[in-house]
Amino acid sequence: MATHNNPNDAFIARSMWRQASTPRISILKQLAVKLVSEVESLNEKERFDFEAGFKLDEEMQKFEIDMIRHALYLTNGHQSFAAKLLGIKKTTLHAKLKRFSIDRKMQMSLDR
């Protein structure tokens, strides 16, 4: 929310919605479907199979990659907006894109 201390938040939010190629309701529907899918997957036993050699750092990395990809999808690949959405600096996002070999342009085309 925009305040006198941070007026750029409103500008960024407006810009992100303007750049979206689908209406807001469609984005919300996609998020709801993804959320339901994630909640349902929590009941799956193999999700966290400790006997098969569960590794927290690998699971955290997968989660982080998914979050970055989703932020890039929501912002049509715009790294500055995606970083703002994730609450990190754009340089940090850029470093993570390189470290995890995520191509933001390819990500946009794969998700659509």
Averaged pLDDT, 84-110? 82
Segment of 16-25, 27-36, 47-56 carrying the highest mean pLDDT: 27-36
- The H or E element that residue 36 is part of is helix 24-41
Report how far residue 54's alpha carbon sits from residue 6's, in angstroms, rounded to the nearest whole number.
42
- Is 3 domain-assigned? no
- Is 65 domain-assigned? yes
Q: Which residue has the tokens 């997957």?
A: 41
Report how far residue 40's alpha carbon sits from residue 85's, in angstroms, rounded to the nearest whole number.
25
Give the residue numbers spanning the domain of 34: 8-111
- Is 16 domain-assigned? yes
44-82 per-position pLDDT tens digit: 555 566 777 778 888 889 889 999 998 898 888 899 999
- Is 81 domain-assigned? yes
The total number of structural domains that make up the chain: 1
pTM over the 0.85 mark: no
Q: Strands, DSSP E only, in the chain?
A: none
- Which positions ≥6 away from 8 have C-beta within 8 Å? 2
Q: Specify the amino acid at residue 65.
A: I
